[in-house]
Chains A and B, each alone.
Chain A
Protein backbone atom coordinates (compact mmCIF):
# COMPACT_ATOMS: atom_id res chain seq x y z
CA UNK A 1 0.00 0.00 0.00
CA UNK A 2 1.32 3.43 -0.87
CA UNK A 3 2.21 5.62 2.05
CA UNK A 4 0.37 8.89 2.31
CA UNK A 5 1.77 11.88 4.09
CA UNK A 6 -0.37 14.48 5.79
CA UNK A 7 -0.09 17.61 3.70
CA UNK A 8 0.94 20.75 5.47
CA UNK A 9 -0.90 23.89 4.37
CA UNK A 10 1.31 25.66 1.87
CA UNK A 11 2.35 29.19 2.49
CA UNK A 12 1.36 31.28 -0.44
CA UNK A 13 3.62 34.20 0.44
CA UNK A 14 6.64 34.39 2.68
CA UNK A 15 6.83 36.76 5.64
CA UNK A 16 3.77 35.64 7.59
CA UNK A 17 0.13 36.48 7.40
CA UNK A 18 -0.97 40.04 6.81
CA UNK A 19 -3.37 39.97 9.72
CA UNK A 20 -2.71 43.41 11.21
CA UNK A 21 -4.82 46.28 9.93
CA UNK A 22 -3.28 49.75 10.04
CA UNK A 23 -5.66 52.65 9.47
CA UNK A 24 -4.49 56.22 8.89
CA UNK A 25 -6.78 59.25 8.73
CA UNK A 26 -5.69 61.85 6.20
CA UNK A 27 -7.30 65.20 7.07
CA UNK A 28 -8.93 67.69 4.72
CA UNK A 29 -8.55 70.81 6.87
CA UNK A 30 -6.06 72.33 9.26
CA UNK A 31 -6.61 72.46 12.99
CA UNK A 32 -8.62 75.67 12.63
CA UNK A 33 -11.28 73.67 10.79
CA UNK A 34 -11.35 76.14 7.90
CA UNK A 35 -8.04 76.16 6.03
CA UNK A 36 -7.95 73.32 3.50
CA UNK A 37 -4.88 71.09 3.28
CA UNK A 38 -3.53 69.52 0.10
CA UNK A 39 -5.31 66.26 0.92
CA UNK A 40 -4.66 64.48 -2.38
CA UNK A 41 -0.92 65.09 -1.98
CA UNK A 42 -1.00 63.55 1.51
CA UNK A 43 -3.12 60.62 0.34
CA UNK A 44 -0.65 59.92 -2.48
CA UNK A 45 2.31 60.28 -0.11
CA UNK A 46 0.73 57.96 2.44
CA UNK A 47 0.02 55.33 -0.24
CA UNK A 48 3.63 55.55 -1.41
CA UNK A 49 4.89 55.22 2.15
CA UNK A 50 2.61 52.24 2.94
CA UNK A 51 3.49 50.63 -0.38
CA UNK A 52 7.22 51.00 0.13
CA UNK A 53 7.29 50.06 3.82
CA UNK A 54 4.48 47.51 4.20
CA UNK A 55 3.78 46.35 0.66
CA UNK A 56 0.48 48.07 -0.12
CA UNK A 57 -2.54 50.08 1.02
CA UNK A 58 -5.96 51.25 -0.06
CA UNK A 59 -7.38 54.76 0.21
CA UNK A 60 -11.15 54.92 0.52
CA UNK A 61 -13.33 57.78 -0.74
CA UNK A 62 -13.76 60.79 1.53
CA UNK A 63 -15.62 60.24 4.76
CA UNK A 64 -17.16 62.73 7.16
CA UNK A 65 -15.36 63.28 10.42
CA UNK A 66 -15.25 65.40 13.53
CA UNK A 67 -12.54 65.94 16.14
CA UNK A 68 -12.76 67.72 19.51
CA UNK A 69 -9.79 70.00 20.08
CA UNK A 70 -9.40 69.97 23.86
CA UNK A 71 -6.57 72.49 23.69
CA UNK A 72 -8.91 75.02 22.04
CA UNK A 73 -11.73 74.89 24.61
CA UNK A 74 -13.22 71.76 23.07
CA UNK A 75 -13.79 73.35 19.67
CA UNK A 76 -15.22 70.84 17.22
CA UNK A 77 -13.23 70.52 14.00
CA UNK A 78 -15.27 69.09 11.14
CA UNK A 79 -13.44 67.59 8.20
CA UNK A 80 -13.68 65.06 5.41
CA UNK A 81 -10.85 62.63 6.01
CA UNK A 82 -9.65 59.99 3.60
CA UNK A 83 -9.21 56.67 5.40
CA UNK A 84 -6.20 54.64 4.27
CA UNK A 85 -6.09 50.93 5.08
CA UNK A 86 -2.94 48.82 5.07
CA UNK A 87 -2.77 45.13 5.91
CA UNK A 88 0.58 44.01 7.26
CA UNK A 89 2.27 41.31 9.28
CA UNK A 90 2.98 41.41 13.04
CA UNK A 91 6.69 41.27 12.22
CA UNK A 92 6.60 44.20 9.81
CA UNK A 93 4.52 46.47 12.06
CA UNK A 94 6.91 45.87 14.97
CA UNK A 95 10.07 46.40 12.93
CA UNK A 96 12.00 49.41 14.24
CA UNK A 97 12.83 50.82 10.83
CA UNK A 98 9.25 50.48 9.58
CA UNK A 99 7.88 52.14 12.71
CA UNK A 100 10.39 54.96 12.34
CA UNK A 101 9.22 55.57 8.75
CA UNK A 102 5.54 55.42 9.71
CA UNK A 103 6.08 57.71 12.71
CA UNK A 104 8.15 60.13 10.65
CA UNK A 105 5.44 60.32 7.99
CA UNK A 106 2.69 60.97 10.55
CA UNK A 107 4.75 63.69 12.25
CA UNK A 108 5.55 65.37 8.94
CA UNK A 109 1.87 65.33 7.96
CA UNK A 110 0.86 66.66 11.37
CA UNK A 111 3.43 69.43 11.21
CA UNK A 112 3.02 70.53 7.59
CA UNK A 113 -0.78 70.16 7.50
CA UNK A 114 -1.09 72.04 10.82
CA UNK A 115 -2.94 69.29 12.69
CA UNK A 116 -3.75 69.01 16.37
CA UNK A 117 -3.54 65.23 16.23
CA UNK A 118 -2.78 62.49 13.71
CA UNK A 119 -4.81 59.34 14.33
CA UNK A 120 -3.71 55.79 13.60
CA UNK A 121 -5.40 52.50 14.38
CA UNK A 122 -3.03 49.53 14.57
CA UNK A 123 -4.62 46.16 15.21
CA UNK A 124 -7.12 46.83 17.95
CA UNK A 125 -5.68 50.04 19.37
CA UNK A 126 -6.02 53.73 18.59
CA UNK A 127 -2.80 55.76 18.67
CA UNK A 128 -2.72 59.55 18.78
CA UNK A 129 0.34 61.45 17.61
CA UNK A 130 0.34 65.01 18.90
CA UNK A 131 3.99 65.93 19.17
CA UNK A 132 5.19 66.65 15.66
CA UNK A 133 8.67 67.86 16.57
CA UNK A 134 11.40 67.30 13.94
CA UNK A 135 13.12 63.95 14.42
Chain B
Protein backbone atom coordinates (compact mmCIF):
# COMPACT_ATOMS: atom_id res chain seq x y z
CA UNK B 1 0.00 0.00 0.00
CA UNK B 2 1.28 3.48 -0.87
CA UNK B 3 2.27 5.60 2.09
CA UNK B 4 0.55 8.92 2.64
CA UNK B 5 2.67 12.04 2.59
CA UNK B 6 3.95 13.08 6.02
CA UNK B 7 2.27 16.50 6.02
CA UNK B 8 3.51 17.27 9.53
CA UNK B 9 7.11 16.78 8.45
CA UNK B 10 6.55 18.87 5.31
CA UNK B 11 4.99 21.72 7.31
CA UNK B 12 7.80 21.66 9.87
CA UNK B 13 10.53 21.65 7.25
CA UNK B 14 8.90 24.54 5.36
CA UNK B 15 8.19 26.54 8.49
CA UNK B 16 4.55 26.56 7.40
CA UNK B 17 1.17 26.24 9.06
CA UNK B 18 -1.13 23.49 7.87
CA UNK B 19 -4.32 25.24 6.86
CA UNK B 20 -6.41 22.26 5.92
CA UNK B 21 -7.24 20.01 3.05
CA UNK B 22 -8.28 21.12 -0.36
CA UNK B 23 -11.18 19.14 -1.76
CA UNK B 24 -9.57 16.28 -3.59
CA UNK B 25 -12.52 15.11 -5.66
CA UNK B 26 -13.98 18.30 -7.02
CA UNK B 27 -13.14 21.80 -8.14
CA UNK B 28 -9.97 23.13 -9.64
CA UNK B 29 -7.45 21.43 -7.35
CA UNK B 30 -9.35 18.17 -7.41
CA UNK B 31 -9.27 18.19 -11.20
CA UNK B 32 -5.59 19.12 -11.22
CA UNK B 33 -4.74 16.36 -8.74
CA UNK B 34 -6.62 13.86 -10.88
CA UNK B 35 -4.71 15.18 -13.88
CA UNK B 36 -1.41 14.65 -12.02
CA UNK B 37 -2.44 11.07 -11.15
CA UNK B 38 -3.60 10.31 -14.67
CA UNK B 39 -0.50 11.79 -16.30
CA UNK B 40 1.75 9.84 -13.97
CA UNK B 41 -0.02 6.54 -14.53
CA UNK B 42 -1.49 6.41 -17.97
CA UNK B 43 0.43 4.88 -20.86
CA UNK B 44 -0.69 4.12 -24.40
CA UNK B 45 -1.01 0.31 -24.65
CA UNK B 46 1.56 -1.37 -26.92
CA UNK B 47 -1.18 -2.42 -29.35
CA UNK B 48 -2.63 1.09 -29.48
CA UNK B 49 -5.84 2.47 -28.04
CA UNK B 50 -6.78 4.76 -25.20
CA UNK B 51 -4.06 5.54 -22.65
CA UNK B 52 -4.58 3.58 -19.43
CA UNK B 53 -2.79 2.41 -16.30
CA UNK B 54 -0.90 -0.79 -17.20
CA UNK B 55 -1.51 -2.08 -13.67
CA UNK B 56 -5.27 -2.15 -14.21
CA UNK B 57 -5.58 -5.76 -15.21
CA UNK B 58 -8.83 -6.53 -13.36
CA UNK B 59 -12.25 -5.64 -14.68
CA UNK B 60 -15.48 -5.53 -12.66
CA UNK B 61 -18.90 -4.04 -13.09
CA UNK B 62 -19.45 -1.18 -10.64
CA UNK B 63 -23.01 -0.12 -9.83
CA UNK B 64 -23.48 3.66 -9.76
CA UNK B 65 -26.22 6.16 -9.08
CA UNK B 66 -26.96 8.41 -12.07
CA UNK B 67 -25.87 11.48 -10.04
CA UNK B 68 -22.48 9.88 -9.35
CA UNK B 69 -21.96 9.16 -13.03
CA UNK B 70 -22.95 12.75 -13.82
CA UNK B 71 -20.38 14.04 -11.32
CA UNK B 72 -17.70 11.77 -12.82
CA UNK B 73 -18.56 13.11 -16.27
CA UNK B 74 -18.28 16.68 -15.03
CA UNK B 75 -14.88 16.16 -13.38
CA UNK B 76 -13.45 14.24 -16.33
CA UNK B 77 -14.62 17.06 -18.61
CA UNK B 78 -12.70 19.51 -16.38
CA UNK B 79 -9.59 17.34 -16.57
CA UNK B 80 -9.96 17.13 -20.37
CA UNK B 81 -9.89 20.95 -20.51
CA UNK B 82 -6.29 20.63 -19.34
CA UNK B 83 -5.39 18.32 -22.18
CA UNK B 84 -5.61 14.92 -20.49
CA UNK B 85 -8.11 12.56 -22.03
CA UNK B 86 -9.61 10.68 -19.13
CA UNK B 87 -12.93 8.86 -19.32
CA UNK B 88 -15.49 9.01 -16.48
CA UNK B 89 -14.96 5.36 -15.48
CA UNK B 90 -11.17 5.75 -15.62
CA UNK B 91 -11.66 8.62 -13.22
CA UNK B 92 -13.82 6.35 -11.03
CA UNK B 93 -10.99 3.78 -10.97
CA UNK B 94 -8.46 6.47 -9.98
CA UNK B 95 -10.72 7.67 -7.16
CA UNK B 96 -11.40 4.15 -5.89
CA UNK B 97 -7.65 3.47 -5.76
CA UNK B 98 -6.90 6.81 -4.11
CA UNK B 99 -9.55 6.36 -1.42
CA UNK B 100 -8.57 2.75 -0.79
CA UNK B 101 -4.93 3.76 -0.37
CA UNK B 102 -5.79 6.59 2.00
CA UNK B 103 -8.16 4.57 4.17
CA UNK B 104 -6.42 3.75 7.43
CA UNK B 105 -6.92 0.40 9.13
CA UNK B 106 -9.00 2.09 11.84
CA UNK B 107 -11.27 3.74 9.30
CA UNK B 108 -11.67 0.44 7.45
CA UNK B 109 -12.61 -1.22 10.76
CA UNK B 110 -15.18 1.49 11.44
CA UNK B 111 -16.78 0.76 8.11
CA UNK B 112 -17.33 -2.90 8.87
CA UNK B 113 -18.05 -2.61 12.61
CA UNK B 114 -21.73 -3.32 13.25
CA UNK B 115 -23.53 -0.14 14.23
CA UNK B 116 -25.42 0.00 17.49
CA UNK B 117 -29.12 0.35 16.99
CA UNK B 118 -31.23 2.39 19.30
CA UNK B 119 -33.43 0.06 21.26
CA UNK B 120 -36.27 0.95 23.56
- Do A and B assemble together? yes
Specify which of A20, A85, A87, A128 is in contact with B5 (CB 8 Å cutoff): A20
Contact with B along A85-125 (1 / 0, CB 8 A): 10100100110100110110011000000000000111111
CA distance A5 to B41 in the complex (A): 23
Specify which of B13, B19, B39, B54 is in contact with A126 (CB 8 Å cutoff): B19
- B55's nearest neighbour on chain A, judged by CB, is A9
**A103 and B15: CB pair below 8 A?**
yes
Chain A CB within 8 A of B93 CB: no
Specify which of A94, A123, A128 is in contact with B9 (CB 8 Å cutoff): A94
Given contacts A9-B54, A19-B37, contact A122 B5 (CB under 8 A): yes
CA distance A122 to B4 in the complex (A): 12
- In the complex, which residues of chain A have a beta carbon less than 8 angstroms from the beta carbon of B92? none
The number of chain A residues touching the other chain, given as a range, is 20 to 34
CA distance A93 to B40 in the complex (A): 15
CA distance A106 to B18 in the complex (A): 15
Residues of B within 8 A of A (CB): 2-3, 5-7, 9-11, 13-22, 24, 29, 32-33, 36-37, 39-41, 43, 54-55
| 12 A-B pairs (CB sep. < 8 Å) | A18-B39, A21-B33, A87-B40, A90-B2, A99-B9, A122-B7, A123-B33, A124-B24, A125-B20, A125-B21, A125-B22, A129-B17
